[in-house]
């Protein structure tokens, strides 16, 4: 009758309800923490992969001067292609709330019927009517443009048009507008014409028929499409072949989730420590009963099954709480993360396998954690089990001897020695607290590093406040001279830029990236070189690249000589440096070098360092400088205040640190629960000893102090241990962050505020965790304690 054993276990659980609840909470926190990361990951994978692939993303995009009907027909006739579609992409300026922002407009008469890179209507009207604007979802909040409102839209220096925002749509193939600082919008060709623009398509998007997941195969097809298009009269500017089936920011998101997943697992492991402590304590309390059951014929295997079954049951109960909680947190976090990638989680169900993994982990974690203590507890001999007197023995330790020789007061001495009596239990509690503290301090260090890096980027490296882009390219000196004549400009430089693509081993161009050309002696940027050097005037073929570009194009190693296709001309360039320039992927060359490569020495933008002025004065200045250029017939396409992107970038980056901070808080809670359980078990095991202390005159205050000091000793040790542990933790976090976002300086010295804050946290944790055990110890009466079995 197996039920009798189940009955015994069940009644034991009810008898020690508080302790059981503690175990369940500990496992639930671990499962909820790790499970929410798993749910987020599973949902994001499903949403991004299915969502991205669901748009039928283009295998390649060819940018041309004009995709005419004969060009489109010729390309569509190619048997290698499953589909080919055209649209116009044009840059403009959107003004809302008196703020002008760069806009990228997608123009097509039949955009709603496009099958490549399908755009889905989100709210309001879709497709856009004539003389109306449909905002892309990822730009709406950033630009504060929502259906029902109006925007002022203009192309170049054409007359602005006030357009109603009639709807919102979602394009899952785009990197999020808020991240790119671009307002994406959809308009009809008639609207573009009304704005004074050309509505001829300039972008050809194709989907290949075979080998759709082979980037090199797609490149070869794209090269043939280029030949066919050019044969039909088109002038192809560049060809972009993205990684097939992969969203542009997928790698970053994966890195982020893997890092978070690692901390989720760490949290689970720490919960496991707590379970080990609790099960060990529970078995210590059951030692005599185990001995009795052995005298009644219980085999170690039967006892092991009883207690492992109990652990399994506790894990399953914890799962009932944790799995739904993880689903709620995971869905919320997935929604947040998906919005970064411009996807909607909506009602997409969390995959069942994620729940199954959590259930298995939640059920097995306590079983695995309990395995050793259960085996050990059940292996104790009957005579040893029955010999227990209730007065614990304290093995002599070096710490104990040290305290003994310290001349401390006896009650304090007792607390200190008690803290070291159950060393294994104390070590696990200490490790849990210290790990939580190390992540806490590491997350604070990472936060400080991110802030420093963003400050460095915006205050030291980007030494200009405003950039002005022009509709056409102009002679650089004229642009600079005009800017310098405007009051408020300290320094001005003419910059130019181009799209470049590495020519691969197969002689085909890879994906295009932006090359910015600036004076070799630029005073407006100062990017630190992590390898090699910055540009010199003599660098006729030298270029520097950012680490993010190096990730995308591994061929651009320091010292490498690579063929770059710029403006249709292939030329050899040499990588002379790798510079940290924030999270963007790009390259820098001197204006002279670019002019030699393209045969065009004109500039398309000026960067301006302004005298210190208020935000309002900067807004006035922008109006003045635009008017000044336009008066000189130099048409401005957009202006961009460098600081405008700072807040968004900082918030975006700090979000990662915030998540780690949340994980550290959960770890500290688990540590606190561990301490509470350790202290509760200590009180339970020393009931008789406490009774003896009472019998010899210990009052409530003395008992309370003894327990609180004991807890304080453990937490202060945890506090101290976390400080050195935070150093490798900071390195790990900052390296992980570098993989996800961009290189930040490693902060090895713990922040003084963080150390003090951590001390505050441990004091609170210690007090709260020891309160219940201390009150329980105070309630022990001498008579009851001495009768305790």
Partner 1 sequence: MTAAAPQPLITLRDAVRTFPTAAGTFTALDGVSLSIARGAFAVVIGQSGSGKSTLLSLLSGVDRPTRGDVVVGDTAVHALPERAITAWRGRNVGIVFQFFQLLPTLTAAENVMLPMDFCDRWPGAERRARAMVLLDRLGVADQADKLPATLSGGQQQRVAIARALANDPAVLLADEPTGNLDSKTAVQILDLFAALAREGQTVVMVTHDMAARNRATHTIALADGKVADDDHGRSHA
The residues of the shown chain that bind partner 1, judged by CB under 8 A, are 1-2, 4-5, 7-8, 11-12, 14-15, 288-289, 292-300, 302, 381-383, 386, 789
Q: Which is nearer to partner 1, 772 or 788 (CB)?
A: 788
Token representation of residue 285: 């309390």
Q: For the CB of residue 441, give the shortest distance to partner 1 in the complex, in Å.
A: 45
Q: Which is nearer to partner 1, 296 or 398 (CB)?
A: 296
> How far is Cα 72 from Cα 784, in angstroms, rounded to an integer?
93
Token representation of residue 622: 């922008």
> How far is Cα 201 from Cα 111, in angstroms, rounded to an integer?
12
Q: Which is nearer to partner 1, 256 or 308 (CB)?
A: 308
Q: For the CB of residue 296, give the shortest distance to partner 1 in the complex, in Å.
A: 4
Q: Which is nearer to partner 1, 295 or 455 (CB)?
A: 295
Q: For the CB of residue 3, give the shortest distance to partner 1 in the complex, in Å.
A: 9
Q: Which is nearer to partner 1, 159 or 296 (CB)?
A: 296
> How far is Cα 267 from Cα 36, in angstroms, rounded to an integer?
12
> How far is Cα 316 from Cα 313, in angstroms, rounded to an integer?
5
Determine phi and psi for 355, rounding to 5 degrees: -65, -40
Q: Where are the beta strands (DSSP E) in 393-547?
A: 466-474, 489-503, 509-518, 529-532, 542-545
Q: How do 99-107 and 183-187 pair as beta strands? A: parallel
Token representation of residue 565: 């296709």
402 and 301 in contact (C-beta within 8 Å)?
no
Q: Which is nearer to partner 1, 40 or 286 (CB)?
A: 286
- For the chain, give the number of residues: 789
Q: Which is nearer to partner 1, 477 or 784 (CB)?
A: 784
- Name the residue among 674, 692, 672 with its Cα closest to residue 682: 674
56 and 206 in contact (C-beta within 8 Å)?
no
Task: Determine how many CB atoms are found less than 10 A away from the CB of residue 96.
Answer: 19
* Strand partners of residue 154: 93
Angular region, 390: left φ>0, alpha ψ -120 to 50, beta rest:
left
Q: What share of the chain is helix, strand, coil (3-state, %, to 5)?
A: 55, 20, 25
Q: For the CB of residue 298, give the shortest distance to partner 1 in the complex, in Å.
A: 4
Task: Determine how many CB atoms are found less than 10 A away from the CB of residue 439.
Answer: 30
Q: At what angle do helices 700-740 and 752-778 cross, to 10 degrees?
A: 140
Using DSSP, state whether 81 is helix, strand or coil: strand
Q: For the CB of residue 391, give the shortest distance to partner 1 in the complex, in Å.
A: 16
Q: How do 587-590 and 509-518 pair as beta strands? A: parallel
* DSSP letter (8 states) at residue 236: E
Q: Which is nearer to partner 1, 53 or 380 (CB)?
A: 380
CA dihedral 448, 451, 454, 459 (to 10 degrees): -110
Q: For the CB of residue 788, give the shortest distance to partner 1 in the complex, in Å.
A: 12
69 and 84 in contact (C-beta within 8 Å)?
no
Q: For the CB of residue 283, give the shortest distance to partner 1 in the complex, in Å.
A: 15
Q: For the CB of residue 304, give the shortest distance to partner 1 in the complex, in Å.
A: 12
Q: For the CB of residue 411, give the shortest distance to partner 1 in the complex, in Å.
A: 27
Q: Which is nearer to partner 1, 383 or 538 (CB)?
A: 383
Q: Which is nearer to partner 1, 505 or 789 (CB)?
A: 789
Q: For the CB of residue 274, give the shortest distance to partner 1 in the complex, in Å.
A: 24
CA distances from 730 to 34, 445, 486, 749 (A): 21, 6, 47, 9
Q: Which is nearer to partner 1, 378 or 578 (CB)?
A: 378
718 and 409 in contact (C-beta within 8 Å)?
no
- Radius of gyration over alpha carbons of the chain, in Å? 34
Q: For the CB of residue 382, give the shortest distance to partner 1 in the complex, in Å.
A: 4
Q: Which is nearer to partner 1, 9 or 558 (CB)?
A: 9
**Dihedral of alpha carbons 557, 562, 566, 568, sign:** negative
> How far is Cα 680 from Cα 318, in angstroms, rounded to an integer?
21
Q: For the CB of residue 711, give the shortest distance to partner 1 in the complex, in Å.
A: 29
Show Cβ contacts of residue 52 under 8 Å, excluding neighbours closer than 6 positions.
172, 173, 245, 246, 247, 250, 343
Q: For the CB of residue 24, give the shortest distance to partner 1 in the complex, in Å.
A: 19
Using DSSP, state whether 558 is helix, strand or coil: coil
Q: Which is nearer to partner 1, 1 or 159 (CB)?
A: 1
Show Cβ contacts of residue 420 under 8 Å, excluding neighbours closer than 6 positions.
397, 399, 400, 426
What value, to the nearest 5°, has the Cα angle with vertex 464 and ends 459 and 466?
A: 125
Q: For the CB of residue 371, give the shortest distance to partner 1 in the complex, in Å.
A: 19
Q: Which is nearer to partner 1, 311 or 590 (CB)?
A: 311
Q: Which is nearer to partner 1, 1 or 616 (CB)?
A: 1
> How far is Cα 761 from Cα 629, in angstroms, rounded to an integer?
58
Q: Which is nearer to partner 1, 1 or 696 (CB)?
A: 1
Q: Which is nearer to partner 1, 17 or 407 (CB)?
A: 17
Q: For the CB of residue 16, give the shortest distance to partner 1 in the complex, in Å.
A: 10
Q: For the CB of residue 693, give the shortest distance to partner 1 in the complex, in Å.
A: 23
Show Cβ contacts of residue 295 under 8 Å, excluding neighbours closer than 6 positions.
382, 386
Token representation of residue 766: 């210690």
Q: For the CB of residue 789, give the shortest distance to partner 1 in the complex, in Å.
A: 7
Cis upstream peptide for 127 (omega within 30°): yes
């Amino acid at each position: 009758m197996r039920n009798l054993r189940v009955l015994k276990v069940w009644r034991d659980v009810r008898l020690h309800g508080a302790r059981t609840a503690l175990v369940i909470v500990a496992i639930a926190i671990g499962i909820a923490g790790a499970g929410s990361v798993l749910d987020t990951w599973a949902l994001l994978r499903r949403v991004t992969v299915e969502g991205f692939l669901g748009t039928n993303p283009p295998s390649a995009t060819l940018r041309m001067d004009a995709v005419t009907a004969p060009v489109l027909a010729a390309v569509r006739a190619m048997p290698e292609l499953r589909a080919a579609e055209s649209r116009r992409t044009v840059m403009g300026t959107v003004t809302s709330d008196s703020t002008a922002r760069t806009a990228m407009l997608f123009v097509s008469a039949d955009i709603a019927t496009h099958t490549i890179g399908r755009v889905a209507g989100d709210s309001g009207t879709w497709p856009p009517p004539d003389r109306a604007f449909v905002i892309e979802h990822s730009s709406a909040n950033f630009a504060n443009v929502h259906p029902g409102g109006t925007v002022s839209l203009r192309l170049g220096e054409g007359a602005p048009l006030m357009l109603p925002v009639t709807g919102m749509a979602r394009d899952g193939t785009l990197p999020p507008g808020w991240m790119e600082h671009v307002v994406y919008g959809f308009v009809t060709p008639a609207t573009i014409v009304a704005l004074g623009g050309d509505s001829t398509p300039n972008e050809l998007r194709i989907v290949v028929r075979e080998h759709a997941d082979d980037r090199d195969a797609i490149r070869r097809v794209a090269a043939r499409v280029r030949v066919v298009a050019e044969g039909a009269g088109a002038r192809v500017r560049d060809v972009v072949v993205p990684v097939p089936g992969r969203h542009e920011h997928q790698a970053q998101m994966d890195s982020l989730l893997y890092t978070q997943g690692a901390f989720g697992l760490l949290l689970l492991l720490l919960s496991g420590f707590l379970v080990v402590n609790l099960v060990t304590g529970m078995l210590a309390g059951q030692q005599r009963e185990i001995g009795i059951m052995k005298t009644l014929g219980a085999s170690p295997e039967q006892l092991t099954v009883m207690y492992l079954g109990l652990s399994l049951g506790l894990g399953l109960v914890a799962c009932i709480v944790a799995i739904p909680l993880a689903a709620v947190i995971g869905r919320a976090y997935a929604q947040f993360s998906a919005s970064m990638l411009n996807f909607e989680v909506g009602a997409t169900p969390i995959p069942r396998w994620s729940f199954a993994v959590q259930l298995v982990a939640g059920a097995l974690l306590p079983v695995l954690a309990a395995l050793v203590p259960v085996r050990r507890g059940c292996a104790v001999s009957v005579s040893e089990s029955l010999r227990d007197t209730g007065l614990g023995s304290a093995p002599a330790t070096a710490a104990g001897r040290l305290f003994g020789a310290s001349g401390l007061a006896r009650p304090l001495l007792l607390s200190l020695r008690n803290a070291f009596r159950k060393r294994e239990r104390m070590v696990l509690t200490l490790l849990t607290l210290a790990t939580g503290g190390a992540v806490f301090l590491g997350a604070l260090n990472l936060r400080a590093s991110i802030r420093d890096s963003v400050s460095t980027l915006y205050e030291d490296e980007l030494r200009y406040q405003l950039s002005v882009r022009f509709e056409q390219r102009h002679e650089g000196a004229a642009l600079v001279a005009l800017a310098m004549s405007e009051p408020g400009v300290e320094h001005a430089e003419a910059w130019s830029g181009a799209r470049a693509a590495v020519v691969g081993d197969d002689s085909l161009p890879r994906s295009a990236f932006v090359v910015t050309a600036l004076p070799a002696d630029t005073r407006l940027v100062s990017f630190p070189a992590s390898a090699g050097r910055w540009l010199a005037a003599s660098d006729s073929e030298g270029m520097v690249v950012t680490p993010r570009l190096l990730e995308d194009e591994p061929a651009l190693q320091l010292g490498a000589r690579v063929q770059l296709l710029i403006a249709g001309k292939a030329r050899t360039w040499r990588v002379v440096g790798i510079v940290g320039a924030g999270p963007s992927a790009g390259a820098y060359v001197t204006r002279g070098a670019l002019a030699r490569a393209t045969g065009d020495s004109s500039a398309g933008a000026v960067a301006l360092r302004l005298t210190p002025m208020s935000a309002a004065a900067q807004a006035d200045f922008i109006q003045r400088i635009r008017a000044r250029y336009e008066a000189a017939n130099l048409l401005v396409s957009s202006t961009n205040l460098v600081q405008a992107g700072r807040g968004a970038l900082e918030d975006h980056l700090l979000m990662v640190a915030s998540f780690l901070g949340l994980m550290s808080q959960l770890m500290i809670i688990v540590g606190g629960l561990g301490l509470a359980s350790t202290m509760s078990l200590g009180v339970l095991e020393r009931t008789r000893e406490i009774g003896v202390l009472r019998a010899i005159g210990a009052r409530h205050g003395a008992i309370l102090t003894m327990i609180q000091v004991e807890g304080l000793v453990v937490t202060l040790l945890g506090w101290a241990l976390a400080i050195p542990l935070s150093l490798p933790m900071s390195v790990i976090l900052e390296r992980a962050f570098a993989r996800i976002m961009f290189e930040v300086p490693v902060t090895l010295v713990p922040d003084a505020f963080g150390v003090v804050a951590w001390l505050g946290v441990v004091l609170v944790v210690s007090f709260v965790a020891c309160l219940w055990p201390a009150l329980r110890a105070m309630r022990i009466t001498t008579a009851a304690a001495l009768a305790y079995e």
